[in-house]
């Protein structure tokens, strides 16, 4: 297996007396699609939030390309090329689709005066290509807030692609999307991984989706890492089955 | 289609420029009113940068207006006299300014007011932009009220009894025209500047902060830098406007003229809501309509003017939240929105329709 692009070592996070993550260590290999599963409330989203810097972790370390990022702020981590999408979709509702795309351009090498740059032809081209990649080109001039939930999800994914991240953390990308669109979305996630070389780290409840995509899956339960393995072995792991069915 | 839109915008700006030049000649009885109209436009348009485009409702923008007024006064006086002696109530020496002293002082004072207010905005932004929503509104209001009280007890600048500004060397008619032209030039410069600024990525960044600031952070936008820049732009123009207004009235004092938190400060918000927030022309239209209504009620319903004003606030907030221009955009969207390209001729559209139409289970 290739080197790790994200490496967590003994990450602990609690809110008041509630332990959300306890001693979680895992590796996301470069160029892979890695899955993160677990029952509701097992600490998956908290772990994502810790990685992208929403809150300081209590203990442990988070390495991105070998660099410690657990003390950096959200925008700083995003500018390093580590991006997340949200479980409850977040787009810029009153701006139209194309504007949503244009403002999502990468901010990695941005100087002060870049704020005042005009929309470049290449950027507009790329935005239009990516928005048609997710099938929303005909709707690009509509306010993003007027799109359906599934379409907003697709737009959010396209915005993430526009940002040219190295790693993309997706929090339940298929939740709330109708089954027909899910297939299209799986294709696009694969394409993002293979054609654009983006490492994907995905939280997913839809087992069919995650089993068909991820080469390696981590399972969390009660904030702790329960099992690790490929799709086959995770599906057969008795502890994972117990966790999902509620046995302790 | 983008070019047509820009073309229409340029024509509208050109028409406004012509109207602004002609107005004091055609309506020479109302030169002072027209100067105040430009001040109202400045208030509304600068408020809209934060309140409309960026979604941060400030109740303290008047701080930068008053700060500019006092900075300018200190520079204009301090260049030639001792400020403490000038403002002292027990002053006996006769003080006058030569023409050269007056105009050079005014020019430098306006410049210092703009820059000084911008610097104050950078500092205030550093402290205030940790606050969001109602906390930001109250925080900024606190800044304005605190400034008024501080200045009111600061002897060196005349405390609560204020400062008599240097007197304009010329007849009253010339004086009115002069200050009209200053306000007109500043207001029009602001519109030209924003016309450019809103054509850049910066408008998208402001709108992104308005729609979902947390998302903007997650996408790596420099949200703090964006917010502070917006405040600095607003403060720069407000500071100069304050300098002009102080000289136009000839007398400045902290509570009712420099930092009037319950009049000008509220008008700003009201005018933007009336015209339509987050639109380029909304604040201009709102300021104009508001100014006419206000002057009419002050003339014909004197004694009832604040009742009328209060009713106007209630009506706008309850029944007319999108404002005049917002209502026009809603009712006649084809006047404003770019026309979508015809879909058959469009390769991207075709490709994305193909993708979306793929049946379930296909590879």
The burial of B108, by beta-carbon neighbours within 10 Å (0-12 exposed, 13-18 middle, 19 or more buried), is given as: middle
Q: Can you tell me the ipTM of this complex?
A: 0.88
Instruction: Identify whether the C-beta of residue A237 lies closer than 8 Å to the C-beta of residue A222.
Output: no
As a whole number of Å, the end-to-end CA separation of chain B is 38
Q: Tell me the two tokens of residue B348.
A: 């991207």
Is B305 part of a structural domain of the chain?
Answer: no
Q: Is the pLDDT of residue B240 over 50?
A: yes
Interface mutation target, options A134, A138, A139, A146, chain B, most CBs of B under 10 Å = A138
* pLDDT more than 90, % of chain B: 63
Cβ neighbours of A187 in B, within 8 Å: 363
CATH topology of domain A4-245: Rossmann fold (3.40.50)
> What pLDDT does B88 receive?
80
Domain membership flag for residue B300? no
The chain A residue lying nearest B362, using CA atoms, is: A183
Looking up tokens 């007011």, which residue turns up? B113
**Mean of all residue pLDDT scores within chain B:** 87
B84-122: pLDDT as tens digits: 888 886 666 678 889 999 999 999 999 999 999 999 999
Residue B319 lies in a domain: no
For residue B289, is it within any domain? no
- B229/A180 Cβ within 8 A: no
Report chain A residues whose CB lies below 8 A from the CB of B222.
75, 107, 110, 115
The helix (H) or strand (E) run that includes residue B58 is: none
**Interface probe, candidates B204, B322, B339, B345, chain A, greatest A C-beta count within 10 A:** B204
Best of A52, A135, A159 to disrupt the B interface (most B CBs within 10 Å) is A135
pLDDT at B259: 94
Q: Is B362 on the interface with A (CB under 8 A)?
A: yes
- Residue A206: which residues within 8 A CB-CB, separation 6 or more? A174, A175, A182
In a domain, B81, yes or no: yes
The number of folded domains in chain B is 1
- Cβ contacts (< 8 Å) between A138 and chain B: which residues? 340, 343, 349, 352-353
How many angstroms away from the CA of B359 is the closest CA of chain A? Answer: 7
**By CB neighbour count within 10 A (0-12 exposed, 13-18 middle, 19+ buried), where does A172 fall?**
buried
Can you give the pLDDT at residue B337?
Answer: 58
Q: Which of B200, B218, B330, B354 to mutate to test the interface with A (most CBs of A within 10 A)?
A: B218
* Residue closest to B240 by CA, chosen among B137, B113, B81: B113
Which among B201, B219, B278 has the least Cβ separation from residue A115?
B201
Report strand pairing: A216-221 vs A4-15: unpaired
Report the residue of chain B nearest A104, measured CA to CA: B219
B218 within domain boundaries? yes
At A2-17, the pLDDT tens digits run 689 999 999 999 998 8
Q: A190 touching B, CB under 8 A?
A: no
Residue B12 lies in a domain: yes
- Across the interface, whether the CB atoms of B352 and A132 are under 8 A apart is answered yes
Mention every residue, 6+ apart, whose C-beta is less than 8 A from residue A54.
A74
| Chain A CA closest to residue B355 | A135
Is residue B325, in this structure, part of any structural domain at all?
no
Cβ contact B348–A141 (<8 Å) = no
Residuewise pLDDT in 10s, chain A (248 residues): 468 999 999 999 999 888 899 999 999 999 999 999 988 888 999 999 999 999 899 999 999 999 999 999 999 999 999 999 988 889 999 999 999 999 998 877 666 667 777 767 888 999 999 999 988 999 999 999 999 888 899 999 999 999 999 999 999 888 888 888 888 888 899 999 999 999 999 998 888 888 889 999 999 988 899 889 888 888 888 888 888 876 55
Is residue B312 scored above 90 in pLDDT? Answer: no
Predicted confidence (pLDDT) at residue B345 exceeds the cutoff of 60? no
What are the C-alpha distances in Å from A85 to residues A132, A154, B58? 19, 11, 30
Size of interface A-B (CB pairs under 8 A): 128
Is A123 an interface residue toward B (CB < 8 Å)?
Answer: no
| 3 state SS of A78 | helix
Q: What is the pLDDT of residue A108?
A: 73
Q: What is the pLDDT of residues B64-80, one digit of tens each?
A: 999 999 999 999 999 98
Higher pLDDT, A248 or B62: B62
pLDDT for the residue B158: 86
Q: Tell me, what CATH number does B187's domain have?
A: 1.10.3470
pLDDT band at B360; cut points 50, 70, 90: very low
Q: Looking at CA atoms only, how far is residue B362 from chain A in angstroms? A: 8
Asked if the model's pLDDT at residue B277 lies above 50, the reply is yes
For residue B176, the model assigns a pLDDT of 94
**Rounded distance between C-alpha atoms, residue B154 and residue B88, angstroms:** 11
B343 in contact with A, Cβ within 8 Å:
yes
Residue B201 sits at the chain A interface (C-beta within 8 Å): yes
Is pLDDT larger for residue B106 or for residue B360? B106
- Residues of B within 8 A of A73 (CB-CB) are 217
Task: Find the mean pLDDT for residues B218-236.
Answer: 94
Q: Whole-angstrom Cα distance, residue B345 to residue A193?
A: 31
Nearest to B283 by CA among B299, B270, B297: B270
Q: DSSP characters for B268-313?
A: HHHHHHHH-TTSSSHHHHHHHHHHHHHHHHHHHSTTSHHHHHHHHH
Spatial neighbors of B133 by CB under 8 A, at least 6 apart, are none
- Domain encompassing residue B59: 2-261
Domain spans of chain A, in order of start: 4-245
Residue B338 pLDDT exceeds 60: no
Q: How far is B229 from chain A (nearest CA, A)?
A: 10
- Least Cα separation, residue A95 to chain B (angstroms): 7
Establish if B8 touches chain A: CB-CB under 8 angstroms. no
pLDDT of residue B92: 65
B289 touching A (Cβ < 8 Å): no
Q: Which of B211, B220, B363 sits opposite A163 (nearest CB)?
A: B220
- In this structure, what token pair is assigned to residue B202? 């910066």
Nearest to B362 among A116, A135, A183 (CB): A183
Residue B220 sits at the chain A interface (C-beta within 8 Å) = yes
């Amino acid at each position: 297996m290739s080197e790790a692009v994200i490496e967590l070592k003994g990450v602990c996070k609690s809110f008041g007396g509630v332990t959300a993550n306890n001693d979680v260590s895992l590796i996301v290999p470069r160029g892979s699609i890695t899955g993160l599963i677990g029952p509701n409330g097992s600490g998956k989203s908290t772990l994502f939030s810790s990685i992208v810097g929403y809150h300081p972790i209590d203990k442990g370390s988070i390495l991105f390309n070998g660099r410690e990022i657990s003390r950096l702020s959200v925008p700083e981590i995003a500018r390093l090329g580590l991006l997340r999408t949200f479980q409850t979709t977040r787009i810029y509702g009153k701006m139209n689709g194309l504007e949503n795309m244009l403002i999502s351009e990468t901010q990695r090498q941005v100087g002060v005066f870049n704020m005042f740059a005009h929309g470049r032809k290449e950027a507009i081209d790329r935005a239009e290509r990516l928005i048609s990649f997710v099938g929303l080109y005909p709707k690009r001039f509509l306010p993003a807030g007027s799109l359906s939930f599934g379409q907003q999800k697709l737009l959010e994914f396209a915005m993430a692609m526009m940002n040219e991240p190295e790693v993309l953390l997706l929090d339940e990308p298929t939740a709330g999307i109708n089954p027909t669109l899910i297939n299209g979305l799986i294709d696009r996630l694969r394409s993002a991984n293979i054609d654009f070389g983006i490492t994907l780290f995905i939280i997913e409840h839809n087992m069919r989706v995650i089993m068909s995509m991820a080469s390696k899956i981590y399972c969390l339960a009660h904030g702790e890492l329960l099992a690790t393995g490929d799709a086959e072995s995770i599906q057969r792991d008795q502890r994972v089955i117990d966790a999902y069915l509620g046995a302790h | 289609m983008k070019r047509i839109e820009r073309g229409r915008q340029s024509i509208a700006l050109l028409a406004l420029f012509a109207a602004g030049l002609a107005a004091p000649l055609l309506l020479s009885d109302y030169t002072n009113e027209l100067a105040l109209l430009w001040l109202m436009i400045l208030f509304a348009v600068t408020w809209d940068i934060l309140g409309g485009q960026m979604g941060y409702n400030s109740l303290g923008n008047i701080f930068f207006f008053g700060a500019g007024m006092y900075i300018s006064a200190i520079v204009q006086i301090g260049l030639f006299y001792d400020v403490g002696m000038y403002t002292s109530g027990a002053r006996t020496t006769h003080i006058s300014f030569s023409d050269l002293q007056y105009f050079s002082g005014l020019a430098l004072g306006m410049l210092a007011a703009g820059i000084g207010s911008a610097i104050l905005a950078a500092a205030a932004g550093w402290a205030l932009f940790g606050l969001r929503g109602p906390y930001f509104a109250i925080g900024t209001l606190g800044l304005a009220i605190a400034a008024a009280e501080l200045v009111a007890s600061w002897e060196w600048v005349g405390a609560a009894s204020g400062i008599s500004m240097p007197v304009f060397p010329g007849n009253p008619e010339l004086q009115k025209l002069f200050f009209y032209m200053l306000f007109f030039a500043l207001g029009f410069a602001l519109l030209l500047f924003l016309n450019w600024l809103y054509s850049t990525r910066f408008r998208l960044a402001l709108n992104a902060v308005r729609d979902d600031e947390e998302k903007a952070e997650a996408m790596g936008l420099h949200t703090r830098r964006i917010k502070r820049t917006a405040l600095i732009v607003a403060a720069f123009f407000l500071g100069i406007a304050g300098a002009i207004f102080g000289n136009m009235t000839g007398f400045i004092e902290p509570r009712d003229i420099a930092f009037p938190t319950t009049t000008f400060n509220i008008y700003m918000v009201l005018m933007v809501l009336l015209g339509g927030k987050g639109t380029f022309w909304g604040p201009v239209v709102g300021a104009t309509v508001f100014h006419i209504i206000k002057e009419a009620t002050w003339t014909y319903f004197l004694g009832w003017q604040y009742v009328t004003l209060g009713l106007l606030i209630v009506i706008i907030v309850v029944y007319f939240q999108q404002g005049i221009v917002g209502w026009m955009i809603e009712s006649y969207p084809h006047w404003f929105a770019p026309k979508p390209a015809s879909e058959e001729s469009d390769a991207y559209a075709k490709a994305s329709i193909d993708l979306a139409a793929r049946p379930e289970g296909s590879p």
